[in-house]
Amino acid sequence: MRAAVLREPRRPVEILEVELAPPRAREVLVKIAAGGVCASDLHVVDGTLPEPMPLVLGHEAAGVVVETGPGVTRVREGDHVVLAIVPSCGECAPCRRARPTFCAVFGAAAGAGTLGDGTSRLSLDGTILYHFNSVSSFAEYAVVPESAAVAIPRDVPLEAAALIGCAVLTGYGAVANIARVEAGASVAVWGCGGVGLSAIQGARLAGADPIVAVDVSPEKLELALSLGATALVNAAEVDAVEAVRAEAGGAGVDYAFEALGREGTIQQAWSSLASGGTAVVIGTMPKGDLLTIDPWGFIQEKNLLGCFLGRPRIEADVPRLVELYRAGELKLDEVVSHRLALGELELGLERLRAGTAARQVILFDP
Ligand SMILES: [Zn+2]
Ligand SMILES: [Zn+2]
* Low-confidence spans in the chain with pLDDT less than 50: none
Instruction: Tell me which residues have their CB within 5 A of the ion that is ligand 2.
Output: 88-89, 92, 95, 103, 105
CA of residue 308 to ligand 1 center, whole Å: 10
CA count, 13 A, side-chain hemisphere, 63: 35
CA of residue 298 to ligand 1 center, whole Å: 30
pLDDT (tens digit per residue) in 43-93: 999 999 999 999 999 999 999 999 999 999 999 999 999 999 999 999 999
Phi, psi of 114 (to 5 degrees): -120, -175
Give the DSSP H or E segment for 104.
helix 104-112
Which of 354-363 are b and which e, b meaning 16 or more Cβ less than 10 Å from the residue's Cβ?
eeebbbbbbb
What is the number of the ligand closest to the CA of 58?
1
* Cα–Cα separations (whole angstroms), residue 272 to 62, 255, 292: 37, 9, 15
CA of residue 79 to ligand 1 center, whole Å: 23
- C-beta of residue 332 within 8 angstroms of C-beta of residue 2: no
What is the number of the ligand closest to the CA of 86?
2
The contacts of residue 318 (CB under 8 Å, 6+ apart) are 82, 84, 150, 152, 164, 165, 169, 312
- C-beta of residue 193 within 8 angstroms of C-beta of residue 357: yes
pTM: 0.96
- C-beta of residue 109 within 8 angstroms of C-beta of residue 120: no
- C-beta of residue 141 within 8 angstroms of C-beta of residue 166: no
CA of residue 301 to ligand 1 center, whole Å: 31
* Residue 84: predicted pLDDT: 96
* Residue 365: predicted pLDDT: 85
Q: Concatenated DSSP letters for 174-223?
A: IIIIII---TT--EEEE--SHHHHHHHHHHHHHT-SSEEEEES-HHHHHH
What is the number of the ligand closest to the CA of 49?
1
- C-beta of residue 68 within 8 angstroms of C-beta of residue 144: no
Residues making up the chain, counted from first to last? 366
CA of residue 312 to ligand 1 center, whole Å: 14
Provide the annotated active-site residues: 38, 40, 43, 59, 166
